[in-house]
Amino acid sequence: MTTIAQVSDLHFGSEERSTTEALIDELNRERLDLVIVSGDLTLAARDEEFARARAFIDALDAPTLSVPGNHDITPWNIPERFAAPYRRWHRHVSDTIEPSWFSDDVAVVGLNTARRMRLRLDWSHGSLSRRQIEGLAQRFDGAGPDVFRIIVAHHPFIEEEAQDLSNRPRAIVKRAEKALAAFVEQRVDLVTAGHLHRTYAAAFHTAPDEPTVIAEAGTPAHRVTVIQAGTALSSRTREEPNAFNRIEIEQGRLAVHTVTWLDTRWERDPEPLVTIERPSAAVP
């Protein structure tokens, strides 16, 4: 059995101290194999915010896998933003922005969707490059045929109620459709992201003779499930309480439960947000 927590959008700099301590206690009580931190560790990429994020990571018993969010690239120091956007990330969090973590029953691959700039005024939106998409197969090299494949990114790939991907809203990552097609091809089971500060799940697939990725309908050749995590700590909750996702993998079944902060304690939703059963991930 592998148990993983996905915490997102911690936004150190706007966190509640008591919630932070309760989150650390909860994650350590769970005896997790891995804690995924899906971006926006800070509010404005300040060193003191990164230092608090580092202290949080150091207080956890489990190893962590973190990818940057748009808030983790300095908005104030423009020369640094362009010349060394991940300097503070590397100093405080990790020497990589695209980590991987493999166990006997799961392969977790991180993708960086944060960008130092884009050809529009709002630089908060995410993007995946063609190189990242084409490199996916290599990222999963060494993963056994029966393991669940999980992608971690900061920006969302699909909306909650998406019917098709032709009308991509701006918060959705650039090249989402190409990425989703690659996820299907690589038999990815679960995509975990954040950024919206909202919890939801959505699924998509490609139909057997249909190269285009479409939302759930018909008989899938392979289904990929997307889960969005709310913010685990920030007071910027956008009308949802603080929450994180708990991913349990046991005997060919993956279940995600949302754990919600109820002002004094964390409570795990007994109803799973999603479950994924074999043979969805079976490689033909």
Among 15, 26, 33, 40, binds Fe ion (CB under 5 A): 40
User: Stretches 53-61, 66-74, 157-165, 208-216: which one binds Fe ion (CB under 5 A)?
Assistant: 66-74
Using alpha carbons only, how large is the chain's radius of gyration in Å? 18
Does position 13 interact with Fe ion (CB under 5 A)? The reply is: no
- CA distances 13 to 48, 74, 238, Å, are 8, 14, 17
Nearest to 56 by CA among 75, 73, 77, 42: 42
Strand, helix or coil at 106?
A: strand
For Fe ion (CB under 5 A), the number of binding residues is 5
**199 lines the binding site for Fe ion (CB under 5 A):** no
Q: Are 88 and 49 in contact (CB under 8 A)?
A: no
Q: Which is nearer to Fe ion, 186 or 199 (CB)?
A: 199
* 118 Cβ contact partners less than 8 Å away, ≥ 6 residues apart: 125, 127, 174
206 near Fe ion (CB under 5 A): no
Name which of 152 and 254 has its Cβ closer to Fe ion. 152
Selected range binding Fe ion among 29-37, 68-76, 96-104, 199-207, rule: CB under 5 A: 68-76
For the CA atoms of 92, 28, 31, 274, what is the dihedral angle to 10 degrees?
-80
Nearest distance, CB of residue 68 and Fe ion, angstroms: 10
Instruction: State the minimum distance, in angstroms, from the CB of residue 196 to Fe ion.
Output: 8
Token code pair at residue 143: 């993963």
What's the closest the beta carbon of residue 171 comes to Fe ion, in angstroms? 9
Q: Residue 81 and residue 117: Cα distance in Å, rounded?
A: 9
Q: Which is nearer to Fe ion, 40 or 49 (CB)?
A: 40
9 binds Fe ion (CB under 5 A): yes
Tell me which of 6, 20, 64, 70 binds Fe ion, using CB under 5 A: 70
In the complex, least distance from residue 7 CB atom to Fe ion, rounded to whole angstroms: 12
Q: What is the DSSP letter of 160?
A: T
Which is closer to Fe ion, CB of 125 or CB of 222?
125
Cβ-based nearer residue to Fe ion, 70 or 206 = 70
Among candidate residues 152, 149, 143, the one with its CA nearest the CA of residue 184: 149
Contacts of residue 55, Cβ cutoff 8 Å, sequence gap at least 6: none
Asked if 26 touches Fe ion (CB under 5 A), the answer is no
Residues that bind Fe ion (CB under 5 A): 9, 40, 69-70, 195
